[in-house]
Amino acid sequence: MKVAMQMGSLIYCGLALLLFYMMEKLLVLVWWKPTEIQKHFRKQGIYGPLYRPVLGSLAELGKIYGQAPSAPPPQPPFQSHPCHSFLRYVFPHLPIWRENYGSVYLYWYGRSPRLSITDPELIKEMTMNPRRYTQSIQHPVVHLLLGKSIIAVGGETWATQRRLLNPFFLMETLKGLSGVVLSAIEERIERWNDLMESNKLEIEVHKEFESLAQCIIAKVIFGNDAEESLPIIQLQSQQAALSSQAVRTFYIPGSRFLPTSFNRRSKWLRQDAERRFNELIDRREWREGQKEEDWLSLMLSLKTMSRQQIIDECCTIAIAGSESTNLLLAWACVLLGVHTEWQDRAREEVHHVLKGSRPTTEILSQLKTLNMIINETLRLYPPVPFVMKKTEEETKIGNLIIPAGVDVEVPLIAVHHDRNQWGDDVYRFNPGRFAEGISKASKHPMAFMPFMQGPRICLGMNFAMIEAKIVLTMILQKFTLAISPRYKHEPVCGLTMKPGKGAHVMFHKV
C-alpha cells in the first residue's frame, strides 16, 4: 500500500515537473524571447506596435484593415480623374506605421518578428549581402509554387543556383527573344484585328497579356514543346493564385496537414505539374539527337542539375517570367489609356525611331520616352510590391544589429510612394521624372527598385524589359488606347499587385 502511494506521488511529481517544464518552454516562446527581441531593437531606437502574446501585432493590423476602405471611391471616376494614391486602400498599415514609427520599425506576425525597412540607404546595404539571408516563405503553399528553386533558397545554395542560371539571362543569350516576342504579339494583333467591330475592340488586357506572356515563356523554355507545356504553366498560375490568397491570411502552424479543399487542391496542382513535366522530359530523352535550343534542353545538357532541380527552376521561371511582365504590360496600357498625352508622345517616338519596321533588341535602347513610361508604371504599380527575407545569422545593416531568424521586409511599393523621395507630385503619373536617368529621379539614387537591387536583383529584368518594350511598340504602331468606361480602379495585392476588377482598355485602329 505504502509503495503504491509512493509510486503515485512520484508520478504526480513527474507530471508536475513535466507540466512546469512545458509551461516554461511556452513562456519562453510566447513571452520571454519576443520581449527580449523587442528590447534589443528598442535599445537601437527601433520602435513599432507593442508585442502581444501569441497574436503579436495581428489584432492591431486587423483593426487598421477593418477601418480602412478596401477600394478607392467610385466618384470621381478614374477615367476622368486618374488618382494613383492607393496605398491606404491596399496596405493601410504602411502609411500609418511609417508615420508613427519612421522608416524602420518592428512589428509582429504572431510570434515572428518582422523588421520593415523603407529607408533606401538601409535597403541598399541589406541587398549587398544576399548570402546572409534566406527567402522568408510566408505560407507553406508557396513551397508548392517554388519548390527548391532559386527564389526559394538562400545562402550558398542560392549562390550556386544563381551561377548556374546566370548565363540564360545574359543580353547575348536573350538576343533570340525578340523573334519569339514578335511572332507572339503579331499573332495576337492579327486576332484582335479579326475581332474588331467598327475598328475598335475592348480588351481585358490583364487576362490577354497573361496568356501572351505564358506563350512567350513557354516558347523560350520548352521550344517545340511549347504548346504541350502550356498546361504546366497554367497549373503554376493557379498555384500562384492560391499562394496569393494564402499570404493575405494568417497561417496557423500545422494547418497545412489538414485535409481541407485548399490543401488538397494545392498539392494536386503541384503533383500534376510535376507529372506532366516528367512526361515531357521522358519524351525528350526518347528523341535524343534532335537539335533543340530551348532552355530545357540547355539545362538537361548541363548534367550538373538533377531532374527535380530542373523542374523546380523551370516551373519558377515560368511563373516569375509570365506573371510580373504581364502585370507591367497591363498597368502600362491602363496608364496610357488615361494619360493619352504620354501615349501620343510614345507613339511619335516609336514612329520616328522604327519608321514602320519591326523592333530589334538593339534599337529598343533608342526608345527613351517608352523607357520613361515603363519606369513610371513600375514605380506607381510595382508588380512585386513586397520582398521578404529572413536573417540566417546575426546581421548588421548600417548601424543596426539584427539577430538571426528575423524577417526583414522591404515594402518597395512604400518607397516608390514616398513623398520624401519623389517630391510633391509623388502620386502623379509623370514619366518625365526619369528624363535624366533613374538615379536622378528621386532624392536617394536607389529609391527606384521594382526588380530589387544588388547581387540578388531579378534575374529576368532584361528579359522583362525586352518583352514589354516590343509588345508596347507593336501595339502603339497599330492602335490608340483609351481606358474603357467599364474599368474600375481597384488594385489588389497578394504576391503580386493586380487590377482587382480587370483592366478593360479600348483598342482603336490607328
Ranges of beta strands (E only) in 368-503 are: 387-391, 395-397, 400-402, 407-410, 479-483, 491-493, 497-499
Q: How far is the CB of 166 from ligand HEM (least distance, A)?
A: 9
Cβ-based nearer residue to ligand HEM, 209 or 342: 209
Q: How far is the CB of 52 from ligand HEM (least distance, A)?
A: 28
Cβ-based nearer residue to ligand HEM, 326 or 369: 326
Q: How far is the CB of 473 from ligand HEM (least distance, A)?
A: 16
Residue of 439, 435, 442, 450 lying closest to 381 (CA atoms): 450
Rg of the chain over CA atoms, in angstroms?
25
What span, in angstroms and rounded, lies between the C-alpha atoms of 100 and 339? 34
What span, in angstroms and rounded, lies between the C-alpha atoms of 150 and 160? 9
Q: Return the residue matching grid coordinates 470621381.
A: 76
Closest CB to ligand HEM: residue number: 460
Q: How far is the CB of 499 from ligand HEM (least distance, A)?
A: 15
DSSP-assigned letters across all residues of 307-354:
HHHHHHHHHHHHHHHHHHHHHHHHHHHHHHHH-HHHHHHHHHHHHHHH
The reply, when asked if residue 315 is annotated as ligand binding, is no
Q: How far is the CB of 164 from ligand HEM (least distance, A)?
A: 11
Residue of 357, 314, 348 lying closest to 217 (CA atoms): 314
Cβ-based nearer residue to ligand HEM, 320 or 482: 320
Q: How far is the CB of 22 from ligand HEM (least distance, A)?
A: 37
How large is the angle between the packed helices 307-338 and 205-222, nearest 10 degrees? 150
Cβ-based nearer residue to ligand HEM, 51 or 434: 434
Q: How far is the CB of 330 from ligand HEM (least distance, A)?
A: 11
Residue of 225, 212, 203 lying closest to 180 (CA atoms): 212
Cβ-based nearer residue to ligand HEM, 8 or 455: 455
Cβ-based nearer residue to ligand HEM, 161 or 480: 161
Write out the residues near ligand HEM by the rule CB under 6 A.
150-151, 162, 317, 320-321, 324-325, 328, 383-384, 387, 450-452, 456, 458-460, 463-464
Strand 200-204 versus strand 491-493 pairing type: unpaired
110 with 58: CB under 8 angstroms?
yes
The CA angle 120-125-128, to the nearest 5 degrees, is 120
Cβ-based nearer residue to ligand HEM, 406 or 452: 452
Binding-site positions read 458
- Specify binding-site residues for heme: 458
